[in-house]
Amino acid sequence: MIGTIVNTCTIVAGTLIGVALHKGIRDKYKNVLYDALGLACFAIGLNAVVTNLPKSQYPVLFIAAMAIGSIVGVALDIDGRFHRLVERRGKGVTENRLADGLATATLVYCIGPLSMLGPVISALEGDHTFLFTNATLDLVTATIFGSTYGIGMLLAAPVLFLWQGMFYGIAMLSSTAVSEALMAELLIVGGLLITGSGLSLLRIKDCHVLNMLPALAVPPLWYLLTALVGR
């Protein structure tokens, strides 16, 4: 769980840095940091797609997954619900409302392809790239939250640890049921989502990646269906 531990520590470190800065971080520095991280996400996501696409046993499965997942996500309005909740929780920043800050930070840290797929890849392949990338993103975000809401934002760190630990534990328990072929499909879809996140961070295109998260469920369901039919 080294990736999750590092991710948790970066939230602690970022919060402490933010508290030390106290007066906040100027927008121009926030923007340049998010630009750099957006490029990193774009490159890592694209690399995951290019590397695993030749390994795919069903070359069009990722297309179907993205289409079906996006339709489901839009129908559930995942992106809209998330942003409305964040906006609602984010009100009263000037009053330093810790509860609002924690609710917002928890959502930002935990909901996303890097935070959800990263522990699975870490458990099954020992590859911590996704989690280390997420840790870098969270370091910047935690610094901003810490400078705005204060030291109490440290409470979001154990929440992230438990969240990612849950995905890690599930992946370890079901490792025998997750084949290399399925992992390739998940990495292709996850890579596309991470690439979309990079585009959003770069302000090139808001892909509403949260609406596409259900796409990650399509490959496992497909492999389960083919296994049942093959019996």
Three-state DSSP state, 111: coil
* pLDDT > 70? residue 70: yes
pTM value?
Answer: 0.73
Integer distance in angstroms from the first to the last C-alpha of the chain?
35
The pLDDT of residue 98 is: 64
The pLDDT of residue 96 is: 44
Three-state DSSP state, 148: helix
* pLDDT > 50? residue 95: no
The pLDDT of residue 82 is: 77
Mean pLDDT, the chain, as a whole number?
84
Tens of pLDDT, residues 145-200:
888 777 888 988 998 999 899 889 888 877 666 677 888 888 899 889 888 888 88
Ranges of each domain in the chain: 2-230
The pLDDT-based confidence of 75 (bands split at 50, 70, 90) is very high
Residues 6+ apart with CB under 8 A from 187: 48, 49, 51, 52, 121
The pLDDT of residue 94 is: 45
Residues 6+ apart with CB under 8 A from 41: 114, 133, 137, 194, 195, 197, 198, 201
Q: How confident is the model over 2-30, as a mean pLDDT? A: 87
The pLDDT of residue 135 is: 94
Least confident of 31-40, 102-111, 193-202: 102-111
Tally of CA atoms within 13 A in the half-sphere of 13 that contains its CB:
12
Q: How confident is the model over 79-90, as a mean pLDDT? A: 73
In the numeric block, which tokens belong to residue 27? 């927008």
The pLDDT-based confidence of 125 (bands split at 50, 70, 90) is confident
